[in-house]
Amino acid sequence: YLPLEKLEYTTDQRNSVGAPFYFEFKAAGISAKLNCQVTEWAENEVFAFEMTSGNLMKSYSERWTLEASPPGSRFTFAEQWELSYGIVGRALAPLVARASGAIVENMLTELKGLAEA
């Protein structure tokens, strides 16, 4: 995950639905610091989480899936977010969406290169 700066579990619970963790990433020069909780977990199939609290974001979630697909595998990444700060957040949303889209495209390109290497 290219913009990742820090990820740490906040309890001994890991690799299961409900596991809490702290997540920091930097995008478009802005650092997001989020407390999150795993919402889906099936090893080698799906990983999803949502924000429980944090800065900059009113809400944030991601879902990663991996599935068999001829002739190999299909990886899917999806994120949903809403910025805080009311009208200012809504005004900044298109800029953040473009920056986020570029990060995701770079991330997927790098992942594809690693998988094909």
pLDDT digits over 60-102, tens only?
999 999 998 888 888 888 888 887 766 766 667 677 777 777 7
Mean pLDDT confidence for 17-29: 88
| Torsional sign, CA 109, 112, 116, 117 | positive
Provide the whole-model pTM. Answer: 0.78
Q: Strand 30-42 to strand 4-9: parallel, antiparallel, or no bridges (unpaired)? A: unpaired
- Joined together, the tokens standing for residue 21 give 């963790």
Report the range out of 27-36, 42-51, 69-78, 79-88 with the highest average pLDDT: 42-51
CB 107 within 8 A of CB 1: yes
- On the question of pLDDT at 12 being above 90, the answer is yes
Please give the Cα distance from 80 to 102 (Å, whole number). Answer: 15
